[in-house]
Amino acid sequence: MDVPNYDGRIFRPIGNPPGAPTGRYHQNGTLIWAEFGGGRLHYGRLVGTCDETGTITATYCQLTATGEVTAGEVRSVPGRTADGVLTLTENWHRLDGSTGVSVIEEVDPSLAPADPTTIQHAALP
């Protein structure tokens, strides 16, 4: 598999479920960052690095729609679906000790999250 450049790519959970959080990724050399939101997430940020295989090692923090703040580490390994769509298998570990695996896939740029600085949000609980 060719090493992807993540700059400008949009990712959502595999299968592109309605209302799922969506992330916009950026890359400058080995530096990776992303902003994400939607569904149960009010807003989130990720920052980390990308190695020569395309694997991302990062930390993240996010604010849920109910006002809960969570943070942790993630290691995201690139792959491809049978149809050739870029995926990231995310092995995450939150500061609260919970762990899990999520798979996200590249989606059409029209599904990009809105810039959170331009949105008027209702007050959080």
Q: Domains of the chain: which residue ranges?
A: 10-107
- Tell me the pLDDT band of 97, cut-offs 50, 70 and 90: very high
Which DSSP string corresponds to 34-97?
EEEEETTEEEEEEEEEE-TTS-EEEEEEEEETTS-EEEEEEEEEEEE-TT--EEEEEEEEETTS
CATH among 3.40.50.300, 3.10.129.10, 2.60.40.420, 2.40.128.30 for 10-107:
2.40.128.30
Per-residue pLDDT reduced to its tens digit, 32-61: 999 998 888 889 999 999 999 999 999 999
In this model, does residue 118 exceed pLDDT 70?
no
pLDDT at residue 1 in the model: 67
- Tell me the pLDDT band of 113, cut-offs 50, 70 and 90: low
Closest CA to 44 of 79, 20, 27, 28: 20
| 117 phi, psi to nearest 5 deg | -80, -10
Are 75 and 88 contacting, i.e. CB atoms less than 8 angstroms apart?
Answer: no
- Tell me the pLDDT band of 124, cut-offs 50, 70 and 90: low
